[in-house]
Amino acid sequence: MKEVQEQNIEKKVDDKIKTTNIKGKKILILFVLLIVVIYVLYAIYLLIKQPTKLFTVEEGTLYEEGTEVGYIIRSEQIVKGNNYKNGMEQIKAEKEKAAKGEAIFRYYSKNEEELKKKIAELDVKIQEVMSSQTEAFSTQINVKLKQIEDQIDQKILELNKITDTAKLTEYKKEIDSLVLQKAKIAGDLSPKGSYLKELNNQRAEYEKQLNSGAEYVQAPASGIVSYKVDGLEEKLTPDDFSVLSKEFLEGLNLKTGKIVATNNEYGKIVDNFSCYIATITTAEEAKKAKVDDNVKIRLANNVEVDATISYISQENENEMLLVLKITKQIEELIDYRKITFDLIWWKYSGLKVPNQAIATEDGLNYVVRNRAGYLNKILVKIAKQNDKYAIVKSYDTDELKELGFSDKEILSYKKISIYDEILLNPDLQKVEE
């Protein structure tokens, strides 16, 4: 009995020790967790107070730009004939260049469909007669006929690779011409030649009627051919920019990015040397801009194009009207009358640093360089700056002399370099000279 009591006492003691140990471990774990939480909170505090202590200097580019809405202004002439109700066949394709006096499209003749049907029927008969020929021609004639057949085969192969409507029509005409040429040669030397000649003569007569009834329209000037006519060709012209205003442009009720529809009655010739974009902007840079200033624009295809300011007028206290001239990407803009684009006022490359790394003292700008824990004040010149970054340079000897530096100071002048580590939010008072 006594032994049992002793065992119970020992068991209770062991349980109490175990319980005490568990509680101790829990307290230790909680203590460790508390330290970790305090450390994390302190790190977050430091991160918020000073996110990054050092910045590595790198080559970079700064832009001053903004997205604007632009109205396309071109020098363009409407080209229209008398028979525009008959329907049109393009000779020059959309955006293809044409010389002055060159035929760019034609209007169909009144009986064109009927004449084309008769010509097609004659072509079938001519082919049938030629296929049934069994006459042996001289070697010279056979060589000539073989050459024509090879040309026809080559044209047909090329035809399968073409998607342009105007070129398809041109190739078809060339193939028809070669077939007729072959038929005439065979007709002149074959007993069935009289019948072939008769068929060829009938076809030639129908071709003559077809061509005489068609109206060919020529380019009044050299330029880009377009069939995208929106009726604004005589309103939005580069002749007099003073007629432009915010009220005038918005009154056109144009939809941004909408593609101008193709016209089936007439076309136009567009000047391929220059194009203009009118825009209303609130950019601060516009208030300082002058005529003939150079800027850049970035189009929807991400291509950057040089532009020149051709006209400026102030719409109101906050808005300026600018007309920008470009000489490239003109074909890309033919589809549109109103677009969005990026207006790049300036673009500058060099050593790029955050503004918060620059400190000013006595009217001069400094960065603080860290090399193995040793800090140096580096005098820098700000070449360009936006709201976040600056492109900085080192001063040359002449510039330092103009600032009043002595020869000794110039000799010891330290320059900023790529990959230098510089402090953010530096305190110049704590940096040794």
Phi-psi region of 121 (alpha: psi -120 to 50; beta: other; left: phi over 0): alpha
pLDDT of 378 > 70? The answer is yes
**What residues have CB less than 8 Å from 286, skipping those under 6 apart?**
312, 320, 322
The Cα 389–Cα 386 span in angstroms is: 6
pLDDT tens digits, one per residue of 270-317: 999 999 999 999 999 999 999 999 999 999 999 999 999 999 999 999
Last residue of some domain: 348, 373, 402? 348
Instruction: Kindly state the tokens that stand for 112.
Output: 């064109």
Q: 316 or 38: whose pLDDT is higher?
A: 316
Nearest to 113 by CA among 202, 206, 175, 199: 206
Do residue 324 and residue 237 come from a single domain? yes
Q: Percentage of residues in the chain with pLDDT exceeding 90?
A: 51
Rounded average pLDDT over 93-112: 87
pLDDT of 52 > 50? The answer is no
**What residues have CB less than 8 Å from 191, skipping those under 6 apart?**
135
Q: Which residue has 């470009």 as its token pair?
A: 326
What phi and psi, each to the nearest 5 degrees, are found at residue 20?
A: -65, -40
The per-residue pLDDT for 215 is: 81
pLDDT of 152 > 90? The answer is no
The per-residue pLDDT for 146 is: 61
Instruction: Kindly state the tokens that stand for 320.
Output: 């300026």
pLDDT of 174 > 80? The answer is no
Do residue 19 and residue 119 come from a single domain? no
Asked whether residue 411 is assigned to any structural domain, the reply reads yes
Lowest mean pLDDT among 121-130, 159-168, 195-204, 317-326: 159-168
pLDDT tens digits, one per residue of 164-173: 655 666 656 6
The per-residue pLDDT for 213 is: 62
**What is this structure's pTM?**
0.65
The per-residue pLDDT for 386 is: 87
Asked whether residue 93 is assigned to any structural domain, the reply reads no
The per-residue pLDDT for 46 is: 47
pLDDT of 138 > 80? The answer is no
Exposure of 185 by Cβ count < 10 A (0-12 exposed, 13-18 middle, 19+ buried)?
A: middle
Q: 87 or 355: whose pLDDT is higher?
A: 355
**Rounded to whole angstroms, what are the CA distances from 333 to 70, 80, 232, 300, 400?**
11, 22, 15, 10, 49
Kind and range of the H or E run holding 28: helix 2-49
Q: 6 or 234: whose pLDDT is higher?
A: 234
Q: Are the CB atoms for 104 and 219 separated by under 8 Å?
A: yes
Rounded average pLDDT over 64-68: 93
- Long-range CB contacts for residues 311-319, cutoff 8 Å, separation at least 24: 311/241, 311/242, 311/244, 312/286, 313/242, 313/244, 313/245, 315/245, 315/246, 315/280, 318/282, 319/246, 319/280, 319/281, 319/282
Do residue 1 and residue 25 come from a single domain? yes
pLDDT band at 9 (very low <50, low <70, confident <90, very high): low
Asked whether residue 86 is assigned to any structural domain, the reply reads no
Rounded average pLDDT over 156-183: 62
Q: 37 or 351: whose pLDDT is higher?
A: 351
Nearest to 226 by CA among 107, 89, 96, 337: 96
The per-residue pLDDT for 121 is: 74
The per-residue pLDDT for 374 is: 85
Quote the radius of gyration of the chain (alpha carbons, Å). Answer: 41
Do residue 318 and residue 372 come from a single domain? no
Asked whether residue 59 is assigned to any structural domain, the reply reads no
Lowest mean pLDDT among 8-17, 221-230, 271-280, 352-361: 8-17
Do residue 356 and residue 322 come from a single domain? no
Do residue 230 and residue 341 come from a single domain? yes
Domain that holds residue 413: 351-430
Q: Angle, nearest 10°, between helix axes 165-189 and 112-131?
A: 50
Q: What is the CATH number of the domain that holds 357?
A: 2.40.420
Do residue 253 and residue 337 come from a single domain? yes
Number of domains in the chain: 4
The Cα 23–Cα 240 span in angstroms is: 91
The per-residue pLDDT for 136 is: 46
**If you average pLDDT over every residue of the chain, what do you get?**
81
Last residue of some domain: 187, 213, 239? 213
Strand partners, 72: 277
